[in-house]
Amino acid sequence: MNPKPQKKPHRAWLILAACILFQGATTGIMFNCLGLFYASICEDLGFSMGSMSLYNTIRQLATAATLPYMILLLKKRKMHRTLLAMTLICTLCFGLMGVFHHLYEFYISGVVVGVAGSIVFAVPVTIVINNWFQKKKSLAMGIAFSASGVAGTLLNPVCSFIILQTGWRAAAWIMAGLSLLLTVPSILFIIRRNPEEAGCTPYGAEEFARLAAERSAASGQSENAALQAASTERFRQAPQSHPVLLLVCCMIITAVAYWVSQYNSHLVTFGQSTGMTLMAASTVASFAMTGNVLSKILLGMVAEKWGYKLALYSGLFFSALGFAIFLLFGQFPIGLYIGGLFFGTTMALATVVPSLIAAHLYEDDAYEEHYSKMMTAGYVASAVGFAAIGFSYDFFGSYFPSIAFSLALCLLAGVAGYFIIREDARKQTHTS
């Protein structure tokens, strides 16, 4: 008796593994470790925290201004080739920080990284997973985006040690080289925009085909018509009665999520402002990265089982809880550690939740179009928010006023979420 041949794993899981590596080596290093450099740069070169924060503001504004055009560029050209070129630019600019002496050099670099980063950070991973997964899409999103948190958790202490041992200039080159080493193979050999480029179908497509066959047999539809109906089943109840209001609310949620997540790059300075050493403050950032990882995976699982609504409000609740703990117990190390753990949810709120909402509301090309608008709002908010947090610290001598403001923003996002859910319920009532 011949043994039954084992079924090979779907290529989508290899794509997910490549996205994990890519996300960890780009966002995990060039975003999550960036805040570790700020205090050393300001001390060495005599910059104020607000002036240095403008580097990130310029970077984010450049991303917001070019993101819609870069999405079109990704459609017209092979994604992996464009992604490789832009990743090389971002890592080179990160390393070049090590030779800068003037603010204008950081600002010029911020423009370049902002333009190239509109393709590198977050968006390509979302598009790839949305194309490759029809089944377990929410879970795959959560796992992929958690990679940046894993990288941050592991590399924040390492990066701090390198800064202390070699100085921030050498550390910039070392971290840029590490990012390049980890990203290039996955881009060149694995990541592809959609399954058609690899000669296969999305993960879960066979279930849609089976559902289409059952629908065809039951209703007398042609199989093509049934397949189209099956593949769009999850969009049937998408709220469309007030499309402008819907998009505005989606943009508000994304903007708030990106604003509040900007504390990720301020956590080390926040810890130091309460009297912590650099290593102790970097531990707060590591706690936040741990919360980042756990919340991204958990929110993906929640959305997979119970839908985007519970994932949205869970993300908002735990983000607000983190800020509340910072406000009440931020003067104590234990308060910073526990608050940092819950604060990590803001990064899931900024990456996983908008993609889940967009995937629920919009289909195919409409998904990329509306998701790019949501992300543009997010990048504008993060640009303004990052600078506002820095200047608020310079003005008040404390992070607590801006933390209170961020807590209020979480409530605003909850109101925007209510309107989306209300429209969703209205549509479900209409279609039932």
Q: Which residue has the tokens 């910073």?
A: 336
**Is the dihedral angle over the CA atoms 405, 290, 361, 57 positive or is it negative?**
positive
pLDDT value, residue 238: 42
Q: Which residue has the tokens 């970097």?
A: 282
User: What would the pLDDT profile of 364-398 be if each residue is shown by its tens digit?
Assistant: 667 777 888 898 899 889 888 877 888 888 888 88
User: pTM of whole model > 0.85?
Assistant: no
**Ramachandran bin of 102, using left for φ above 0, alpha for ψ from -120 to 50, beta for the remaining angles:** beta
**Is the dihedral angle over the CA atoms 195, 200, 204, 210 positive or is it negative?**
positive
Q: Where are the domains of the chain?
A: 11-194+239-431
- Mean pLDDT, rounded, of the chain: 84
Which of the given ranges, 146-150, 227-231, 233-237, has the highest pLDDT on average?
Answer: 146-150
* Residue 225's pLDDT band (cuts 50, 70, 90): low
SS3 133: strand
- Residue 202 near residue 193, CB atoms below 8 Å: no
What does the CA dihedral 63, 66, 68, 73 come to, rounded to 10 degrees? -110
| 237 has a pLDDT exceeding 50 | no
User: What would the pLDDT profile of 294-341 be if each residue is shown by its tens digit?
Assistant: 999 999 899 888 888 899 999 999 999 999 999 999 888 899 999 999
Residue 71 is encoded by which pair of tokens?
């999405």
52-56, 205-209, 422-426: which has the minimum mean pLDDT? 205-209
25-29, 235-239, 268-272, 287-291: which has the minimum mean pLDDT? 235-239
The dihedrals phi and psi of 35, each to the nearest 5 degrees, come to -60, -25
* Greater pLDDT, 356 or 166: 166
User: What would the pLDDT profile of 135-149 be if each residue is shown by its tens digit?
Assistant: 888 888 889 888 887
Residue 126 is encoded by which pair of tokens?
């979302």
* Residue 152's pLDDT band (cuts 50, 70, 90): confident
* Integer Cα distance of 185 and 193 in angstroms: 16
* Greater pLDDT, 295 or 239: 295
- CA–CA distances in Å: residue 47 to residues 39, 44, 105, 248, 390: 9, 8, 13, 37, 12
User: What would the pLDDT profile of 259-271 be if each residue is shown by its tens digit?
Assistant: 998 887 788 888 8
pLDDT value, residue 4: 52
pLDDT value, residue 99: 95
Angle between helix axes 333-343 and 278-306 (nearest 10 degrees) is: 30
- Residue 346 near residue 264, CB atoms below 8 Å: yes
4-13, 143-152, 162-171, 392-401: which has the minimum mean pLDDT? 4-13
| 211 has a pLDDT exceeding 80 | no
The dihedrals phi and psi of 405, each to the nearest 5 degrees, come to -65, -40
Query: Does the domain at residues 11-194+239-431 carry the CATH identifier 3.40.50.720?
Result: no
* Of 277, 251, 260, 298, residue with least CA distance to 64: 251
User: What would the pLDDT profile of 69-98 be if each residue is shown by its tens digit?
Assistant: 887 777 777 788 889 999 999 999 999 999
* Of 150, 129, 140, residue with least CA distance to 300: 140
39-43, 59-63, 141-145, 428-432: which has the minimum mean pLDDT? 428-432
- CA–CA distances in Å: residue 2 to residues 5, 6, 9, 268: 9, 12, 21, 61
| 23 has a pLDDT exceeding 80 | yes
The angle subtended at Cα 47 by Cα 44 and Cα 378, nearest 5°, is 120
Largest CA distance in the chain: 79
| 347 has a pLDDT exceeding 60 | yes
